[in-house]
């Protein structure tokens, strides 16, 4: 474990936040998890417990590992509870204004040497860093979803990120047993710059009537050997998140090839955001998912 990082704070107890807390605790770090509502923190802790139990049943960890990891995760009901953390990772919704507001609230509570990271999947690290009191100790640590399963973490330096912050973050990722890939600070970084336009193109193929939901997903699973089809994957990511990443790419790179598909916009406007709302490109309300087009 890195000597620089012992205590981790996670802001956001949702899917990404509780996943980051889960893998950090398993790796031996003391973790404090914070969210706006106490209820969300408790829900996040319950999810971590459930996911650790699943790993015990599948033989990936032992019951002792689970108990030890759970003992290391503590609720932080206020930002002041993060004051002793060496690294605080923000894992809130993919919205710049929300993230800036979080940083403005948490920075005064942090000790001077603490590092601050964002789990953003597409927003400029340099721009987010500039809204904090520690741009040289700010970095992008982008985990993939679902965190306990996925092996990759993207590390993104902002223009001001110091070498010490970068090296400590790299050591932290290695201690989690994950593989780090380093990306330059451009919209979407590496994974989403490639993945999201592919998903967006699949939605255009549906929108233009070239293929049905089932035809598109089957084609990419069996024809390109993808583990899941692009529309199924979009539902898993969340269509609102897909749209916000496409908007960041479109605005940040000013290239028409990144224009979000109007059908994606329509689904988001309908509140059909994928699995989390039980409807997206598939309807999840029955026994088995049924295509909605």
Residues 233, 270, single domain; the answer is yes
Mean pLDDT of the chain: 96
CATH code for the domain in which residue 133 is found: 3.40.50.720
Active site residue 57: no
Whether 1 is covered by a domain: the verdict is: no
Catalytic annotation, pick one of 18, 51, 94, 142: 142
Q: What is the DSSP string of 68-86?
A: HHHHHEEE--SGGGGTT-S
pLDDT at 3 over 60: no
Residues 115, 233, single domain; the answer is no
Question: CA geometry: angle at 192 spanning 9 and 187, to 5°?
Answer: 85
By residue range, what is the domain housing residue 162?
A: 7-183
Roughly what angle, to the nearest 10 degrees, separates helices 239-253 and 230-237?
Answer: 100
Residues 124, 101, single domain; the answer is yes
Percent of residues, the chain, with pLDDT higher than 70: 99
CATH code for the domain in which residue 266 is found: 1.10.1040.10
pLDDT at 238 over 80: yes
Catalytic annotation, pick one of 18, 192, 200, 244: 192
Catalytic annotation, pick one of 18, 22, 24, 154: 154
Catalytic annotation, pick one of 24, 121, 183, 244: 121
Tell me, what's the pLDDT at 4? Answer: 77
What are the CA-CA distances from residue 198 to residues 100, 133, 172, 257 (Å)?
A: 29, 37, 31, 11
CA nearest to 275, candidates 257, 287, 289: 289
Active site residue 142: yes
Which of 150, 183, 216 marks a domain boundary? 183
Tokens of 129: 């860093």
Residues 153, 202, single domain; the answer is no
Active site residue 192: yes
Residues 23, 161, single domain; the answer is yes
Residue 48: band (very low, low, confident or very high) from pLDDT cuts 50, 70, 90: very high
Q: State residue 89 phi and psi, 5-degree precision.
A: -110, 120
| pLDDT, tens digit, 9 for 90 and up, residues 173-230 | 999 999 999 999 999 999 999 999 999 999 999 999 999 999 999 999 999 999 999 9
Active site residue 154: yes
Residues 201, 161, single domain; the answer is no
What are the CA-CA distances from residue 57 to residues 22, 23, 60, 62, 145 (Å)?
A: 16, 17, 8, 9, 21
Tokens of 119: 């789990």
| pLDDT, tens digit, 9 for 90 and up, residues 263-286 | 999 999 999 999 999 999 999 999
């Amino acid at each position: 474990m890195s000597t620089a990082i012992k205590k981790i704070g996670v802001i956001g107890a949702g899917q990404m936040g509780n996943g980051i807390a889960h893998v950090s605790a398993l790796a031996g770090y003391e973790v404090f998890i914070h969210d706006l509502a106490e209820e969300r923190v408790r829900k996040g802790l319950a999810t971590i417990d459930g996911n650790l139990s699943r790993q015990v049943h599948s033989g990936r960890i032992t019951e002792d590992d689970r108990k030890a990891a759970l003992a290391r995760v503590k609720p932080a009901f206020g930002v002041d509870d993060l004051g002793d953390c060496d690294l605080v990772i923000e894992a809130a919704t993919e919205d710049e204004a929300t993230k800036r507001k979080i940083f403005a609230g948490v920075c005064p509570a942090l000790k001077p040497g603490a590092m601050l990271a964002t789990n953003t999947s597409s927003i400029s690290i340099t721009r987010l860093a500039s809204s904090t009191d520690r741009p040289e100790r700010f970095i992008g640590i982008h985990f993939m979803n679902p965190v306990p399963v996925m092996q990759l973490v993207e590390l993104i330096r902002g223009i001001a990120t110091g070498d010490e912050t970068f090296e400590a973050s790299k050591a932290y990722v290695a201690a989690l047993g994950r593989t780090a890939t380093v990306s330059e600070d451009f919209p979407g970084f590496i994974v989403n710059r490639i993945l999201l336009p592919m998903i967006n193109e699949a939605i255009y193929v549906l929108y233009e009537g070239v293929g049905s939901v089932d035809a598109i997903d089957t084609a990419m699973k069996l024809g390109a050997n993808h583990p899941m089809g692009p529309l199924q994957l979009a539902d898993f990511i969340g269509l609102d998140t897909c749209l916000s990443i496409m908007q960041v790419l479109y605005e940040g790179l000013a290239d028409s090839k990144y224009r979000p598909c109007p059908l994606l916009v329509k689904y988001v406007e309908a509140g059909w955001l994928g699995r989390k709302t039980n409807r997206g490109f598939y309807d999840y309300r029955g026994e088995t998912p049924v295509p909605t087009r």
